[in-house]
Amino acid sequence: MKGAHKETLPVTIDENLRGRDFLSLHDFSRQEIEGLLKLAQELKGLQKAGKPHPLLEGKTLGMIFTKSSTRTRVSFEVGMYQLGGHALFLSGQDIQIGRGEPISDTARVLSRYVDGIMIRTFAHQDVVELAKYADIPVINGLTDLLHPCQVLADLLTIVEYKGRTEGLKITYIGDGNNMAHEIMFGGAITGMDVVICTPEGYEPSEEIYRLASEDAKQNGGSITLIKDPLEASRNADILYTDVWASMGQEEEAQKRIKAFQGYQINEELLKVAQKDAIVLHCLPAHRGEEITHEVIEGPQSAVFDQAENRLHAQKAIMAATM
C-alpha cells in the first residue's frame, strides 16, 4: 500500500562493508568479522521466527560455478530468496568464460546486469581478477587456495556452541588445503589457538602460514604446525577435518589414502581432547577415511549445524556487501 509504514528490521550492518569484496577473512578486521557473525545470528533468528527480512529486495546475485557443489549452490540460492532477491546460476560451461572470454570482460559485463557475483572455481587468481574488474561485490564461494564462506560459518557454529572464539584451541587434521588455510586466517583473527596437523609433504602454504601468524600476534591467538595427530588433539576445544583428496585430486586418491593413514578423527583423538570438544567437517565426508561414522554421528558432532550455518553466514555476507 502506498505510504504504508515499512518495519525496521532488527539487524546490525556495518556500513564499512558495503560494496566490499569477500575473497578471504584475512582481508577483514576482527571487528568486521565479529560484526558479520552478529548479523548472521540476527538473520538466523529472524528466519527461525518466520519473520521476513527482504534486505536485498529487487537485487540479483550472479553465481558462477566451474566446480560442482551442493551446499554452496543451495545455501546461496536459498539465502538470496530469503533476503528478497534473486540468484542466477551460471555454469562455467554455459557462459562465455568457458569458451575463452577473458575474466576481465565477464566481470565488466556482469557488473552491468547484477548486483553481486559469487564464484566457486579452481584458481584463486581468477577470483582476484574478477574482483579487480567488477564494479560490484565479488564473493569467493571457494577456490583451491581459500574457502572464506565456509570458515565464517564455522566461526558462527563455534560461537553458538562455545559462546566465544577467544582462547579456544582448534585442531585441524588432514591436508594442508584451502580449508587449513582459511581456518588459520579465521582462527588467528578471532583470537584462537590454531593447530594444523598434516602428514609430511602435505603442509599448508608457507606464505599463508606467515600471514596468519601475523594476524594471530595482533589478536592474541597462535598458529602451530604439528605432525602427530594425538599430540595435536590434546586439550582441543574443536577437532576439524576435511577429505583427504579434494575435487580435482581424484587421481591422487590412492596415494593420499596411504599418506594420510592415522590422520583420522576418531574416538581415540576425542578422548584426549576437551570433554566438551565439538567435531567439525566442511562436508562432503568420506566416512571411514578422514572421520569415522561413529564420530560424525556421535553426540560431539556439530557437523550438520555447521552445514546449516553456511546459509546464515552467507546471508550476512550478501546483506552486508550488497
Q: Is 27 annotated as a binding residue?
A: no
Catalytic-role residue among 237, 242, 256, 281: 242
Does 16 appear as a known binding residue?
no
| Cα gap 261→88, rounded to integer Å | 41
Catalytic residue among 282, 306, 312, 314: 282
Q: Which of 48, 51, 56 lies closest to 317 in space, CA to CA?
A: 56
Amino acid at 68: S
Task: Single out the residue of 308, 306, 193 nearest to residue 241, CA to CA.
Answer: 306
281 is in an annotated binding site: no
282 is catalytic: yes
Cα–Cα distance, 67 to 231 (Å, whole number): 35
- 154 class by beta-carbon count within 10 Å (0-12 exposed, 13-18 middle, 19+ buried): buried
Q: Tell me if residue 99 is catalytic.
A: no
- At 206, list the grid cell: 608457507
Q: Which of 147, 181, 256, 281 is catalytic?
A: 147
Coil, helix or strand at residue 282: coil
- Residue 70 assigned to a binding site: yes
246 is in an annotated binding site: yes
120 included as an active-site residue: yes
**Does 310 appear as a known binding residue?**
yes
Q: Is 310 a catalytic residue?
A: yes
Binding site annotation covers 71?
A: yes
Q: What angle do CA 20, 21, 27 make, to 5 degrees?
A: 95
228 is in an annotated binding site: no
The response to whether 233 counts as a known ligand-binding position is no
Catalytic residue, from 30, 124, 281, 310: name it.
310
Enzyme catalytic residues = 120, 147, 150, 242, 282, 310
What residues are designated binding site for L-ornithine?
178, 242, 246-247
What residues are designated binding site?
69-72, 96, 120, 147-150, 178, 242, 246-247, 282-283, 310
What residues are designated binding site for carbamoyl phosphate?
69-72, 96, 120, 147-150, 282-283, 310
